[in-house]
Chains A and B, each alone.
Chain A
């Protein structure tokens, strides 16, 4: 299985909105509505931000939202804040009953 494709970096100014894409195939992203997104600050464990394409776990800000169209999922961060600067990864359950992660996106708040 190949890693899902994400842009290497995305940047935005405080208060702006940014969107990170996550491209897969019909065997993963397009196969099920089981796409998750993680925020990863260096030295810490990745934090689940979105599950099942668009659901937020308790405690996650509603500034984070997810969507999917075909084989591509997206994470949008609105009202960008300095604390949002981190690496972001998507993940999908696959038709082989495995998981695959994305290549990762570094978000920079200008």
Chain B
């Protein structure tokens, strides 16, 4: 069973950059899975951020595409999310997930990221 563990900074300053890592266990990141990130702002709904395949192929939410980058590190068996120009609207719980077979499956417990000075 694939499990994912999110690691994030907890607090990001306005206009700063979020770097979040999703560690993969129970599978190789070079398997046939797609890897996704999803977020949920406080009191709001779920928002899909984007996905990446181990070869580096990515697709992103059009509303975030200009600020988002997903990357894979096969040697560390993890993938990473970078989100630039952070504002208060980016405050959310960020989840790591798989998105193979045309469905998102949440494999991590999520990590809270707050944008504040």
Contacts and interface: CB of A to CB of B under 8 A. Distances in A.
Our verdict on whether A and B bind, yes or no, reads yes
B106 A45 contact: yes
Given A97-B59, A104-B46, A91 B106 contact: no
Interface in A54-98: 89, 91, 93, 96-98
Contacts of A99: 36, 48, 51, 99, 104
Which of A3, A46, A51, A93 has the most chain B CB atoms closer than 10 A to its own CB? A46
- The main secondary structure of chain B at its interface with chain A is loop
Contacts of A46: 46, 95, 106
Interface residues of A, number: 26
Interface residues of B, number: 25
B103 A89 contact: no
B103 A102 contact: no
B29 to A, nearest CB: 19
Contacts of A97: 59
Contacts of B36: 99
A36 interface: yes
